A and B are shown apart, each in its own frame.
Chain A
Amino acid sequence: MSALDGRPSLAPGVRLQRDAISGEPVLLYPEGIMALNSTAHDIVARCDGATTVGAIASALAAEYEIAREELDADILECLEVLRQRRLILFAA
C-alpha cells in the first residue's frame, strides 16, 4: 500500500478550532495547542478518516491551481509530523 492510500483522521481528543484572537487555525489536544499555517489547516480539515492522502492532494492541487506532484511530498511530510505527535491517526 502506498502512503498516499492512507486515510488520516484526527486522533481521539484532538480538535481543530479557530483561535478567536488571531483568527488562525489551531489544533487543541490534552494540555497542548498547535498553531497551523493555512496549508496545514487545509490538510487537517480534510482528515476525516475516509478521504485518502492522495484524494486530499488532488483536492488541494485543484484548489491551489498547481500540479499535484508538487504537493504530495509536502502533504506527506506535514501528516508525518502530526502523526509522530499523535495528533492524527491512519486507518488501515
Chain B
Amino acid sequence: MNHRPYALLAELTYRCPLHCPYCSNPTRLPAGGELATEDWRRAIREAAEIGVLQAGFSGGEPLLRTDLADLVAEARGCGMYTNLITSAVGLDESRAAELRDAGLDSAQISFQADEAALADGIAGARTHRRKLEAARIVRERGIALSVNVVLHRANLSRLREIIAFAASLGTTHLELANTQYYGWGFLNRAHLTPTRAQVDEARRIAAEEKQRHAGRMDIFYVLPDYYEQRPKPCMQGWGRRYLTVNPVGEVLPCPTASSIPGMRFESVREHSVAWIWNESESFNRFRGTAWMPEPCQSCPQREIDFGGCRCQAALLTGNAAATDPVCSLSPDRKAVDEFLAGIASDDRKLPPWRLRTLSA
C-alpha cells in the first residue's frame, strides 16, 4: 500500500535574477518549455485529489511567472496551504496585494547575509536592499513571513549577526540551512564547505541563539551533513510524503532527483499525478526498504533515515542505490572524508566559485 503525499513543491521556473553559487537547481536544464498555466492548474488539482495539503511555489524565482497568483488561487481553492519560496525580487506592493487576494498564506524570503555588500556578492546581483523592502511589505500585508539563509564558508562567520538581522525583520521563523551539495552547490562545494572548526563554532552559536530567541523566533538549524555520522532522512523517504513538479512538468520524488543519471521521470503533460505517484517506475524505484543494499538492509535505522539521499549517493558514488556515503557505516564514506580532508584551511587558497547562470 502506497503512502499519500502531503506536500507539493511547484518549481514554476528555473529563471532567477540571482546567481547564488550554492543553488541546487540543475546545472543542465531538462529539455522542454515551461508548463502552461492550464497544465499547472490541472497538476495542482490532481495533487489535491490524492491528498496534498501544502503547496510550495518555488523555482528559480516563482515571481517571474505572471500567472503566479492564478496558481496560488487554484491551490487555495483546493484547500491547500500556500507558501511562496522566493528571493523577493519583484515583490512590490501591488504584487503582494495580488498574492494576498489570491489566498497566499505565507512567504519564505531568502537572504544571503545580514548586510548588503556581502549578500550582493554572494547573490551576484544587487538585491539585498530590495529584499528588505519586500519583507516589510509581506508583513504589512498580513502574509506570514519566514526567513531562510543558506550557510556556507563565505557567511558562516557572521552567523550571530545573521540571526540578529533576521530577528530585526520581524519574522517568527528562521531557517538556517547549511548548504547541501546538489546542482551548482555541488559544482562549488570546494569553495562553499566550511572547515570542521567553523562548523563546530557555528553549531555552538546556533544552539545558544536558539535559546536566546525562544518564544519570539523559532530557529531551525539544518546540519551540514558531510560532517555528520548518519545521513539525513531525505524527503522522509522516497515517494513517501513529498512530490515536486519541475518547470517542464516532470514529477520528481525530490527537487534534485533529475540529476540522477539514467532515470526517467514522467510528465504531467502525459500522465495524471495519481498515476505517477502510485504506478510510475521512478516513484517506486526507491520506495520502502526492499531496494536497500547492506548495511542499510539490516540496519535498525532503515526506517528512520531511509538510507539517506539518493541524489547524494549518485553524485558521490555513481550509484543512486548505494547507502548515502555520509553514513559512517557506508563503504563509500571515504568519498566524503577525502573531500573534507582536502578543504583549504586558508581562505586565500580557495578556488573561485562559479556563479549560477541559466546556460551551463
User: Given A12-B142, A31-B54, A86–B48 Cβ distance below 8 Å?
Assistant: no
Nearest CB to that of A30 among chain B residues? B106
- Counting chain B CB atoms within 10 Å of each CB, the highest count among A13, A14, A15 belongs to A13
Counting residue pairs across A and B whose Cβ atoms lie within 8 Å, the total is 51
B51 lies within 8 A of A21 (CB): yes
Task: For the complex formed, measure the closest distance between the CB of B90 and the CB atoms of chain A, giving whole angstroms.
Answer: 21
Query: In the bound complex, what is the Cα–Cα distance between A17 and B105 (angstroms)?
Result: 13
Interface size class of A (residues with CB under 8 A): 10 to 19
> Is A61's beta carbon under 8 Å from chain B?
no
**Neighbouring A residues of B50 by C-beta, 8 Å:** 21
Once the chains bind, are B53 and A29 in contact (CB under 8 Å)?
no
Q: Contact check: which of B6, B79, B81 meets A29 at CB < 8 Å? A: B81
Which chain A residue lies CB-closest to B218?
A86
Q: A13-B144, A15-B81, A15-B105 are in contact. Are A30 and B173 (CB under 8 A)?
A: yes
Taking CB as reference atom, which chain A residue is nearest B146? A30
Interface 0/1 of B165-190, CB less than 8 Å to A: 00000001100000000000000000
> Does B126 lie at the interface of the complex (its beta carbon under 8 Å from any beta carbon of A)?
no
Taking CB atoms, residues of chain B closer than 8 Å to A14 are 144
B230 interface residue, CB < 8 Å from A? no
A13 touches B51 (CB 8 A): no
A33 at interface by CB-CB < 8 Å? yes
From B54, B79, B218, contact of A33 by CB (8 A): B54
Q: What are 8 sample pairs from A and B whose C-beta atoms fall under 8 A apart?
A: A12-B144, A15-B105, A18-B79, A20-B48, A20-B79, A29-B81, A31-B54, A33-B6
Interface residues of B (CB under 8 A from A): 4, 6-7, 48, 50-51, 53-54, 56, 79, 81, 83, 105-106, 108, 142-144, 146, 172-173, 218
Query: A12-B144, A86-B172 provided; 15 other pairs, C-beta below 8 A?
Result: A12-B142, A13-B143, A15-B81, A17-B81, A19-B51, A28-B54, A28-B105, A29-B106, A30-B81, A30-B83, A30-B106, A31-B7, A31-B56, A31-B146, A33-B81
